[in-house]
Amino acid sequence: MIEASDGDDRGDGTLLDGLFATPAMARLFDDRARLQAMLDFEAALARAEAAVGVIPAEAAPAITAACDATRFDLGAIGLAAADGGNLAIPMVKALTAAIGGDAGRYVHWGATSQDAIDSGFMLQARSGLDLLVSELTAIGDALDALAARHAGTVMAGRTFLQHALPVSFGLKAAGWLSGVTAARAELAHVRATALAIQFGGAAGTLASLGDKGPAVAARLAAELGLPLPPLPWHGDRSRVARIATALGLTAGALGKIALDVALMMQTEVGEAFEPAAAGKGGSSTMPHKRNPVGATLALASARQAQALVPLALQAMISEHERAIGGWHTEWVALPQAFRLTAAAAAQVRVIAEGLEVDAARMRENLDRTQGLVLAERVMMALAPTLGRMPAHHRVEAATKRAVAEGATLHTVLAADAEILATLGADGLAALFQPESYLGASDAFIAAARDAWRRGNEPRGG
């Protein structure tokens, strides 16, 4: 596990980190942590090559001891990178100078800049994925509890932002939970299958190491605790693209929750609210406001994270053995995607763990259309006798009359002698009990919760 640095020197500044990053993820992907990850590669490479006999055994301890990012001038390395086109070139030069003597001659032996940069990123990505999986676990546990607690809390289901049919808030929470379950599984899968060392030398052949290249690569992978791929992947950016895509999918699942909560917090709806806190959600001019600031920041972060995914996908179409620009876009896009996804997760966790649910308002809103949300139920009850389409037309006409007259749908239908004769007074009245028209909701909630719990089970070794 990479330890994030304590410094403030981040590539994108710190002013907006409180909005679009978490402290842990920002530290993990700040400039010093990026440099340290590349230095970890250089130290591991020296140890691997010394073990295989490629470089003198005494060179490895000296190189390893010097691979400490706090000993280097980040600003100078950053400025010098412009001449070579990447950070590894000035880093290797500075590291070599810092070591000096005979050991300095063996720094970066047989490697190329992309080996250090890509392997360093993989070390950071491993820790970043672990942070996100941990956060999603907390979110999922909170949503699991909401789904169980509100399985019988009836509310209006909405399609095209209009009342559709009765649903339970537990089912809505189960839908959120299902998205988080899938996202966490994808992150875990990518961690297990996409991470790998990068080690191919100048053009992916390790020719400079003679017949010892494969042995060094295997030892290097063991040193870094990363998988050894079948071959170097300088020109195959699918591993990075898969990580980016997993982040985008995660951001989507989080953004869905945030958007639903923001809509439920609307004044005219008022069905659920982010947890209140001193100074949270206020307006600079309107003292009465309780804005959905957590959902807002989660949405903004999620949308930005998703917008970065195409950059990683585009980088897959690269030129020959090393790209001219595509690979370079990953250096900004992927760290930022990690920061943004973490920011969205942090906000959604607060929302999920402290969501205030107004069940009475949910029922009040459900009743607002005076039975119209149960029109489908009446239609299906009439269909065996009248036929589905005739029943549809009959109930549709009744709904229009109910709206025009400001009457309940039940009242209008009860005035229709044929309908009353078909369903009976008690039968018709029973159709307007929304609690009994939730279909397979309980089964769906149980299935979502079961999938989450199975995801929490430890995997066999």
User: Any idea which residues carry the catalytic annotation?
Assistant: 283, 322
For residues 44 and 41, give the distance between their C-alpha atoms in angstroms, rounded to a whole number: 5
Q: Which residues pair with 1 in a beta bridge?
A: none
Side-chain-facing half-sphere of 120: CA atoms under 13 Å: 30
Residue 365 carries which side chain, given as an amino acid letter?
Answer: N
Residue 396 has φ and ψ, to the nearest 5°, of: -60, -45
The secondary structure of 122-188 as a DSSP string is HHHHHHHHHHHHHHHHHHHHHHHHHHHHTTT-EEEEEETTEEEEEEEHHHHHHHHHHHHHHHHHHHH
CA distance 162 to 230: 53
Q: CA-to-CA distance for 4 and 127, rounded, in angstroms?
A: 9
C-alpha span between 221 and 201 (Å, rounded): 15
Residues 6+ apart with CB under 8 A from 335: 11, 29, 34, 124
Distance separating alpha carbons of residues 128 and 117, to the nearest angstrom: 16
Helices (H) and strands (E) in the chain, counts: 20, 4
- Nearest 10 degrees: Cα torsion 38, 39, 42, 43: -140
What does residue 154 show for φ and ψ, rounded to 5 degrees? -85, 140
Asked if 226 contacts 123 with a C-beta cutoff of 8 angstroms, the reply is yes
* d(C-alpha 295, C-alpha 355), whole Å: 11
Q: In degrees, to the nearest 5, what angle opens at C-alpha 426 toward C-alphas 424 and 428?
A: 65
Those residues whose C-beta lies under 8 Å from the C-beta of residue 451, and which sit 6 or more positions away, are 178, 181
How far from chain centre, in Å, is Cα 414? 51
- How far apart are alpha carbons 362 and 357 in whole angstroms? 9
